[in-house]
């Protein structure tokens, strides 16, 4: 590295401090307020967990949380299975068309609002009753694309000759997958699943459009959106703190597994 | 892989094709769809009222992109100049907020900017006694929210080429008498254009079709294309027009992606020139 003057180095650290302040102050304020007895930014009136307690008694939030958990678990399970198989299928064949590549890439970049209205039009044209099951169908679309891309990254350095060796030695396709391929890609599959789970827990717009009428299939982000539209309440701060803690934990875990993959 | 491809075809390709078809139909008198071919919906997009919303969305997305790229590039540069062993940690914490819920990150700005929010409290604390400033429900609030939400990605995108930069190139440039500014402008910047382009495209594409940020930070009457599409489907009940708006949005997105591919191509050509020159 070229030697930098002390003045330059100070400037660079200043830039970093300002950027980190910008990134973290809004979140820190939210977390701090969730523990504020009074709940308002006007004054600190003492540490309290009462907003968390009142969350635990809010049945609308609890049922929304349960819905989110169902959607995230089921869509992650389906997407992990389909996405992993897709990744193996694509990487095993050396030649694949640009069309296939675009099809797998599209769910990750298509604007949420476009996929949301497309699915709404599609489901209502089929006269399908919408609810948690339609949200799950929709979430699998982008989740499987993300799982696939994580697993494919791992497969780039995979030595396919060991699969051939296994088949030559008489193992069936299922045994080969279970005993040879899967152990190698497992960390990437779990990392992809954790990523999919987080994306599904956080997803708002597509769920909002494919949930159908009525409150029965309200997910947590839909509930949070409704609460924010209604106004600031200290309960949102507590809920926000919990949701952030959950997704940051899941993704840190996913990142670690992935780094383990790269490290191998 | 067949089940996955069937899933993507049935639940993405077919619905999107349906929306494309929908855009060429007429709206029924009572809000349904009348199956006669028309180009009216696309004509309506260019009506001054709606064209104005497109321009406003592009302006807001463009401003947010510019600010995010400037801040994000500076941050990425500072990270790449930090001691090697600190870099992964700094990068991790720069990206961490990106992993929390989008709605919550946007809500955090309501807490900061509302009339009795933290910024007003700070002003009072410093002795300000006048009317609380109105910061929430403005274009500025929407831009701040977009920059805040997408900044981590720009940092990540710009850091990749900056960290791979050969430090000898900058040294050579300075040894040959170029000032720090010239070295940055003629050597470092051209080599890192692909990162900037990737970050910029990401912010622009996600901002121009954004629905949540303008709805929450822009207030009820503030509209961008995303909100307009939302309205056509959920309140105005004019699905064909909503579909046409969505298709124009996709077209803009594809144009931006193509421009990025072009810029990256040209940059890699120029990068070859710069590093070739330094080697020789």
Which residues is B26 bridged to in the sheet? Answer: B34
CB-based contacts of B118, cutoff 8 Å, min separation 6:
A29, A41, B111, B112
- A108 in contact with B, Cβ within 8 Å: no
* pLDDT of the residue at B26: 86
- A125 in contact with B, Cβ within 8 Å: yes
State pLDDT tens for residues B116-164.
778 888 888 888 888 888 888 999 999 999 999 999 999 999 999 998 8
* pLDDT of the residue at A95: 66
* pLDDT of the residue at B31: 65
Q: Which of B100, B215, B257 faces A27 most closely, judged by CB atoms? A: B100
pTM above 0.80, yes or no: yes
Q: B7 and A141: CB-CB below 8 Å?
A: yes
- The answer to whether residue B277 scores a pLDDT higher than 70 is no
Q: Which of B77, B199, B210, B76 is nearest to B146 (CA)?
A: B210
Residue A215 CA, chain-centre distance (Å), reads 23
State pLDDT tens for residues B89-118.
999 999 888 888 899 999 999 989 988 778
Domain layout of chain B by residue ranges? 44-279
* pLDDT of the residue at B37: 87
* SS3 per residue for chain A: CCCCCHHHHHHHHHHHHHHHHHHHHHHHHHHHHHCECCCCCCCCCCECCHHHHHHHCCHHHHHHHHHHHHHHHHHHHHHHHHHHHHHHHHHHCCCCCHHHHHHHHHHHHCCHHHHHHHHHHHHHHCCCCCCHHHHHHHHHHHHHHHHHHHHHHHHCCCCCHHHHHHHHCCCCHHHHHHHHHHHHHHHHHHHHHHHHHHHHHHCCHHHHHHCCCCCCCCCHHHHHHHHHHHCCCHHHHHHHHHHHHHHHHHHHHHHHHHHHHHHC
Taking CB atoms and an 8 Å cutoff, what residues of chain A touch B205? 109, 111
Mean pLDDT of chain B: 88
* pLDDT of the residue at B263: 78
* Nearest-by-CA chain A residue for B9: A103
Question: Which SS3 state, helix, strand or coil, does residue B27 take?
Answer: strand
Chains A, B: CB contacts under 8 A, how many?
Answer: 215
State the smallest CA–CA distance between residue B54 and chain A in angstroms: 15
* pLDDT of the residue at B24: 93
State pLDDT tens for residues B207-230.
999 999 999 999 877 889 999 999
* Nearest-by-CA chain B residue for A126: B15
Which ipTM did the prediction report? Answer: 0.88
* pLDDT of the residue at A42: 65
* pLDDT of the residue at A196: 94
Q: Report DSSP state, residue B130.
A: S
For residues B20 and B7, give the distance between their C-alpha atoms in angstroms, rounded to a whole number. 19
Q: A27 and B108: CB-CB below 8 Å?
A: yes
* pLDDT of the residue at B236: 86
Q: A141 and B230: CB-CB below 8 Å?
A: no
User: Are A102 and B5 within 8 A, CB to CB?
Assistant: no
Residue B270 confidence class, pLDDT cut points 50, 70, 90:
low
- The answer to whether residue B12 scores a pLDDT higher than 80 is yes
User: Are A220 and A111 within 8 A, CB to CB?
Assistant: no
* pLDDT of the residue at B17: 94
Give me the phi and psi of B174, to 5 degrees please: -70, -35
* pLDDT of the residue at B126: 85
For residues B22 and A157, give the distance between their C-alpha atoms in angstroms, rounded to a whole number. 44
* pLDDT of the residue at A80: 97
Q: Which two tokens stand for residue B94?
A: 């720069």
| Helix, strand, coil share (%) of chain B residues, nearest 5 | 80, 0, 20
Residue-range domains of chain A with CATH? 58-263 (1.10.3720.10)
Neighbours of A188 (CB within 10 A): 25
Q: A68-82 burial by CB neighbour count: b if 16+ within 10 A, else e?
A: bebbbebbbbbbbbb
Q: A47-60 burial by CB neighbour count: b if 16+ within 10 A, else e?
A: eeeebbeebeeeee
Query: Homologous superfamily of B44-279 in CATH?
Result: MetI-like (1.10.3720.10)
State pLDDT tens for residues B51-104.
999 999 999 999 999 999 999 999 999 999 999 899 999 999 998 888 888 999
Burial zone of A242 (CB within 10 Å; 0-12 exposed, 13-18 middle, 19+ buried): middle
* pLDDT in 10s for each residue of chain A, 264 residues: 445 778 888 999 999 999 999 999 999 999 998 998 887 766 678 898 989 999 988 999 999 999 999 999 999 999 999 999 999 999 887 667 788 888 998 998 888 999 999 999 999 999 999 999 999 999 999 999 999 999 998 888 888 888 889 889 988 888 988 888 899 899 999 999 999 999 999 999 999 999 988 788 999 999 999 998 887 778 899 999 998 898 888 878 877 877 654 433
* pLDDT of the residue at A259: 66
For residues B73 and B147, give the distance between their C-alpha atoms in angstroms, rounded to a whole number. 13
- A121 in contact with B, Cβ within 8 Å: yes
Q: Report DSSP state, residue B34.
A: E
């Amino acid at each position: 590295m070229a030697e930098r003057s002390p003045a330059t180095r100070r400037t660079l650290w200043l830039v970093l401090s300002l950027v980190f302040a910008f990134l973290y102050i809004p979140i820190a304020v939210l977390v701090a307020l969730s523990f504020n007895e009074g709940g308002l930014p006007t004054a600190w009136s003492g540490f309290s967990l009462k907003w968390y307690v009142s969350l635990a008694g809010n049945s609308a939030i609890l049922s929304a949380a349960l819905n989110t958990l169902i959607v995230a678990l089921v869509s992650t399970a389906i997407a992990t299975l389909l996405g992993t198989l897709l990744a193996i299928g694509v990487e095993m064949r050396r030649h694949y068309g640009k069309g296939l590549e675009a099809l797998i890439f599209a769910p990750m970049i298509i604007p949420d609002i476009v996929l949301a209205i497309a699915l709404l039009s599609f489901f209502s044209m089929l006269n399908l009753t919408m609810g948690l099951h339609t949200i799950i169908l929709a979430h699998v679309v982008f989740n499987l694309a993300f799982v696939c891309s994580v697993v494919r990254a791992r497969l780039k350095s995979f030595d396919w000759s060991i699969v051939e060796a296994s088949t030559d030695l008489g193992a069936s396709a299922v045994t080969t997958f279970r005993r040879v391929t899967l152990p190698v890609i497992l960390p990437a599959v779990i990392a992809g699943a954790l990523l999919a789970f987080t994306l599904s827990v956080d997803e708002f717009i597509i769920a909002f459009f494919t949930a159908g009428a009525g409150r029965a299939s309200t997910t947590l982000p839909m509930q949070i959106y409704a609460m924010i539209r209604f106004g600031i309440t200290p309960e949102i701060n507590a809920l926000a703190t919990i949701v952030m803690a959950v997704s940051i934990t899941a993704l840190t875990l996913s990142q670690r597994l992935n780094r383990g993959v790269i490290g191998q | 892989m067949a089940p996955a491809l069937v899933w993507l075809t049935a639940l993405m390709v077919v619905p999107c094709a349906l929306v494309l078809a929908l855009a060429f139909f007429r709206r029924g008198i009572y809000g349904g769809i009348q199956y006669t071919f028309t180009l009216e919906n696309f004509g309506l997009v260019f009506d001054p009222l709606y064209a104005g919303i497109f321009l406003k969305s592009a302006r807001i997305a463009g401003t947010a992109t510019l600010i995010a790229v400037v801040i994000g590039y500076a941050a990425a540069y500072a990270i790449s100049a930090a001691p090697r062993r600190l870099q992964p940690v700094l990068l991790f914490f720069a990206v961490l907020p990106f992993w929390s819920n989008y709605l919550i990150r946007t809500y955090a700005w309501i807490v900061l900017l509302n009339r009795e929010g933290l910024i007003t409290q700070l002003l009072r604390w410093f002795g300000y006694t006048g009317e609380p400033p109105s910061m929430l429900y403005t274009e500025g609030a929407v831009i701040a929210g977009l920059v805040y939400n997408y900044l981590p990605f720009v940092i990540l995108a710009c850091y990749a080429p900056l960290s791979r930069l050969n430090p000898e190139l900058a040294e050579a440039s300075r040894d040959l008498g170029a000032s720090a500014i010239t070295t940055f402008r003629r050597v470092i910047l051209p080599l890192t254009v692909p990162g900037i382009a990737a970050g910029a495209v990401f912010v622009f594409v996600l901002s121009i079709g954004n629905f949540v940020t303008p709805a929450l930070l822009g207030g009820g009457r503030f509209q961008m294309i995303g909100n307009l599409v939302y309205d056509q489907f959920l309140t105005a009940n004019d699905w064909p027009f909503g579909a046409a708006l969505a298709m124009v949005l996709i077209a803009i997105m594809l144009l931006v992606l193509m421009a990025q591919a072009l810029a990256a191509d040209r940059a890699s050509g120029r990068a070859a020139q710069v590093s070739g020159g330094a080697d020789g």
